[in-house]
Structures are given as C-alpha cells and as structure tokens.
C-alpha cells in the first residue's frame, strides 16, 4: 500500500466530523452529497499534491479513496455513534 493510499484513508476517516461542522441539518440530501463529493475531491487533490505526484491519475485515485472511506466511515461509525449528528446540531446556524 502506498503513502498516497494510506493518507487518503486517514483523511477519509476524519472527513465526516469536519464536514459535520460545515453541513447544516436542514440541507437537502442532494446538496449534502454534492458538498461531500467536492470536499473529498479537494482533499484528494491536496493529498496528491503533498505526495509530490499531482497528476490526473493520482488525483482521481486519492479522491475516490477519500470519498469511499468518508461514506463508509460516516455510515458505519460517525452517524451510528451520534458524533456527526451532534456536531451538525451544535453548529447549525439556524438554531442559535
């Protein structure tokens, strides 16, 4: 396993709580999915850049690993434990 893959997995694991700060509870599911996709693409680009191999292939590889890891970890860990939903509620600007 390459460093690019390892960093992509680590970043993907920590993306859900970071995104929970940005995303709002009342947002449409399509908007939430779009924000998730864009954030994962940006993270993948950053990882590829900092690994010194910012080519199209490495960007796509990293972005897809981050995206799949983020979705799996959110659905399997962050959401069932209530951590991500709690962060979303605490940072919802409409409830203050």
Report the alpha-carbon distance of residue 45 to residue 90 in Å, rounded. Answer: 29
Rounded to an integer, what is the distance from CA 5 to the centroid of its chain? 15
**What does the CA dihedral 64, 66, 44, 10 come to, rounded to 10 degrees?**
-150
Q: In the chain, where are the structural domains located?
A: 3-90
pLDDT of residue 53: 80
pLDDT of residue 95: 56
pLDDT of residue 94: 72
Q: Which helix (H) or strand (E) holds 59?
A: helix 56-73
Radius of gyration of the chain (CA): 14
pLDDT of residue 84: 87
Cβ neighbors of 30 (< 8 A, separation 6 or more) are none
Average pLDDT for runs of 10 along the chain of length 96: 91 94 86 94 94 87 96 93 89 71
pLDDT of residue 23: 85
């Amino acid at each position: 396993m390459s460093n690019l893959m390892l960093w992509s997995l680590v970043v993907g694991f920590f993306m859900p709580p970071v995104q929970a700060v940005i995303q709002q509870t009342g947002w449409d599911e399509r908007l939430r999915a779009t924000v998730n996709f864009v954030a994962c693409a940006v993270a993948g680009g950053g990882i590829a850049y900092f690994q010194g191999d910012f080519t199209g292939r490495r960007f796509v590889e990293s972005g897809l690993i981050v995206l799949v890891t983020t979705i799996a970890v959110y659905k399997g860990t962050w959401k069932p434990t209530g951590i991500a939903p709690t962060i979303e509620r605490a940072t919802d600007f409409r409830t203050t």
